[in-house]
Amino acid sequence: MDFSEKIAHWAKIVNEKLADLVVPKNSPEATIYEAMRYSLLSGGKRLRPVLSFAVNEILGGRQDDIIIYTCALEMIHTYSLIHDDLPAMDNDDYRRGRKTNHKVFGEDIAILAGDALLNYAFEIMLEDIYAHMDSPDLPGRINAARLIAKASGTSGMVGGQVVDLESQGRNISYDILEYMHKCKTGALIKAAVQIPLAINNVTGEYEKALLTYAENLGLAFQIKDDILDIEGNLEEMGKKTGSDSASGKITFTAYFGLDKAKEILKSTVDAAIESIAVFGDKANFLTELAGFIAERRS
């Protein structure tokens, strides 16, 4: 399989698993499953699961061992998008080319659908941990769930969202800009790499190389996001553009200007690629992925 076939293959696997994990039910709370599925199965890029699968392959891990954790991470990513889009937050009407969750189900259900996805992420991980109580794989699974919790909470994604909100319309230092993105987008992207590392119990040189890759990939992803907010368009992006600058958010492009931001993007991608040289040809997919992140148009 070439690069795009591999992405499509892995995205399909995770899409099918997510659809299996959140099934429509004919119970009094049926709406919540509908609302969860609406956003969860709306065909995102699945960058985080693809990253987990790619790293897992390099480490020689079994896909079945990590899939619950990478689906949990995708649920957490999705909950954060639902809550981010709310009128009280970014107030976005479109996401991935479709109406946002609260536009379809109402704000109240959208808040609960986000809550439900976050909760369910931990529910499926804890069920998996419970099911592996007597297995030698138990410690790695517990560690993966623990790292995901840290990445999505106040010292990770939620913390970054708070800094983002509070920085709007203010002059912030580059340190704060970097800290915000490390938390807001970077933490979950890093967690995608931490999952296979934890479950395959990999430490040392390989761990260090892959975590450096993940950090640079996360940073590149965010710089590119900021560039797309200026250069992208609704049709390709599936969401409104220009909204970050309009709301006075500090972005890489606002901070450095477009040209300098593109330069930093390039050097960040180079740093990501360089960090995984230790894996030789086995890292080809990750190398292409870093380029793909920088070149993407949505």
Site of interaction with its own copies (CB under 8 A): 27-29, 31-33, 36, 79, 83, 86-89, 106-109, 111-112, 114-116, 118-120, 122-123, 126-127, 129-130, 133, 138-139, 142-143, 145-146, 149-150, 152-154, 158-163, 165-166, 176, 179-180, 183
Q: How far is the CB of 182 from its own copies (least distance, A)?
A: 11
Q: Which is nearer to its own copies, 13 or 147 (CB)?
A: 147
Q: Which is nearer to its own copies, 51 or 163 (CB)?
A: 163
Q: How far is the CB of 268 from its own copies (least distance, A)?
A: 21
Q: Which is nearer to its own copies, 176 or 230 (CB)?
A: 176
Angle separating helix axes 187-199 and 47-58, nearest 10 degrees: 30
* Cβ atoms of 21 and 165 closer than 8 Å: no
Size (the chain), residues: 298
Q: How far is the CB of 147 from its own copies (least distance, A)?
A: 9
Q: How far is the CB of 231 from its own copies (least distance, A)?
A: 27
Give the containing element (helix H, strand E) for 16: helix 3-21
Q: Which is nearer to its own copies, 10 or 38 (CB)?
A: 38
Q: How far is the CB of 183 from its own copies (least distance, A)?
A: 7
Q: Which is nearer to its own copies, 161 or 200 (CB)?
A: 161
One-character DSSP codes across 164-206: HHHHTTS---HHHHHHHHIIIIIHHHHHHHHHHHHHTT--HHH
Helices H / strands E in the chain, number of each: 16, 2
Between CA 181 and CA 164 the distance in angstroms is: 8
Q: Which is nearer to its own copies, 166 or 263 (CB)?
A: 166
Q: How far is the CB of 224 from its own copies (least distance, A)?
A: 23
SS3 87: coil
Between CA 284 and CA 219 the distance in angstroms is: 20
